Amino acid sequence: MHGLRPTLLIIDDTPINIRVLSELFADECEILFATSGEDGLRLAASDRPDLILLDIMMPRMDGYEVCRRLKSDPQTRDIPVVFVTALGEEKDETQGLELGAIDYIIKPINPPIVKARIRNHLELKRHRDLLSAMATIDGLTGIANRRRFDEMLRQEWHRAQRSGTPLSVLMIDIDHFKLYNDRYGHLAGDDCLKAVACCMLGVIRRPGDLLARYGGEEFACILSETDVQGARKVAEHLHQAVAALEIPHADSPVSPIITVSIGFCTTWPNGIRNSQELVDCADRNLYRAKHEGRNRVYF
Ligand code: GH3
Ligand code: MG
Ligand code: MG
Ligand code: MG
């Protein structure tokens, strides 16, 4: 969804058809169009529209083939496709729906009905996008959750393997947080987690990097294309930024304010063979940071 208005991609080789459909939706959608299947596929991949209106009879590549390709590409698979076509036989419609289209509209169209149907499909799409966004967000802090972390780590691991660039993972754990809850109460503990997450998010701003709540009072961070020196800078920045919040923690044995311990690991030169080893190594370093007195970075 780009901004507030959904984006509609119209693929049809006949310009007058594109015009009719564009005018029908111009007041509630951003309109993209293509006059060939090939151009339509390119636009679908680059602009990720919310819905595609697809003609069937087109030279070179017909709408069925376009739909087949859209549905076989992970990047475009989830975009709902609605056929809008003059082919009105039962076998045509069956084929369209079997290819994964959510609807099949036969020309000449009835504008108010088409408008209402597409509006309903867009509403469903909006709900689906919202659900999938919620499935990757931590409910308390609003940052990415463990599921999102695992998913992105897998992607970044493969990207780093392909490009030969380093990849770093940081594990961050609040020091003596049980004592904080004991002293200030669980609700204050929740507020503290939110403040720490928000503050660290202000540090992890580079596109391609990710800060996630890994569980409880533990956070994890993926730094793509980042070597040991780069990761160390970020870790120290995070460590200082949390301290700068100056959240009182009167019972902490290491400091009168909330602090974090951070362990990190970089793929190279540590001979890391897979993404799990990278996390395990960062976790071992976090353990060492704790063991050596907390409130520090270890790598
Ligand atoms: P250490 O310095 O070794 O990490 O000590 P710690 O007390 O932080 O670690 P420990 O694992 O013993 O305790 C973690 C605490 O974090 C206990 C748990 O109640 C608290 N915690 C985990 N998740 C939440 C949460 O969502 N809200 C609140 N308020 N507390 C949480
Ligand atoms: Mg046509
Ligand atoms: Mg802790
Ligand atoms: Mg912990």
Distance CA 58, CA 35 (A): 9
Instruction: Return the best residue to mutate from 140, 141, 175, 178 for the ligand 1 pocket (most ligand atoms within 8 A of CB).
Output: 178
From first to last of its 299 residues, the chain has per-residue pLDDT tens of: 445 899 999 999 999 999 999 999 999 999 999 999 999 999 999 999 999 999 999 999 999 999 999 999 999 999 999 999 999 999 999 999 999 999 999 999 999 999 999 999 999 999 999 998 899 999 999 999 999 999 999 999 999 999 999 999 999 999 999 999 999 999 999 999 999 999 999 999 999 899 999 999 999 999 999 999 999 999 999 999 999 999 999 999 999 999 999 999 999 888 899 999 999 999 999 999 999 999 999 99
DSSP secondary structure code for residue 268 in this structure: T
Contact in structure between 198 and 140 (CB atoms under 8 Å): no
Contact in structure between 77 and 34 (CB atoms under 8 Å): no
Q: Would strands 103-106 and 167-174 be described as parallel, antiparallel, or unpaired?
A: unpaired
How far is CA 123 from each of CA 2, 7, 87, 128, 273, rounded to the nearest angstrom?
A: 14, 12, 27, 9, 44
Task: Please identify, by atom number, the ligand 1 atom nearest to the C-alpha of residue 181.
Answer: 29
Task: Please identify, by atom number, the ligand 1 atom nearest to the C-alpha of residue 175.
Answer: 2
Reported pTM: 0.80
The answer to whether the complex's ipTM is over 0.90 is: yes
Contact in structure between 264 and 232 (CB atoms under 8 Å): yes
**Residue given tokens 């190594």 in the structure block:** 281
**Using a 6 Å cutoff on CB, does residue 95 contact ligand 1?**
no
How far is CA 228 from each of CA 146, 266, 299, rounded to the nearest angstrom?
A: 24, 6, 9
Report how far ligand 3's centroid is from the alpha carbon of 235 (Å). 16
Report how far ligand 2's centroid is from the alpha carbon of 86 (Å). 8
The token pair at 108 is: 């000449």
**Using a 6 Å cutoff on CB, does residue 13 contact ligand 1?**
no
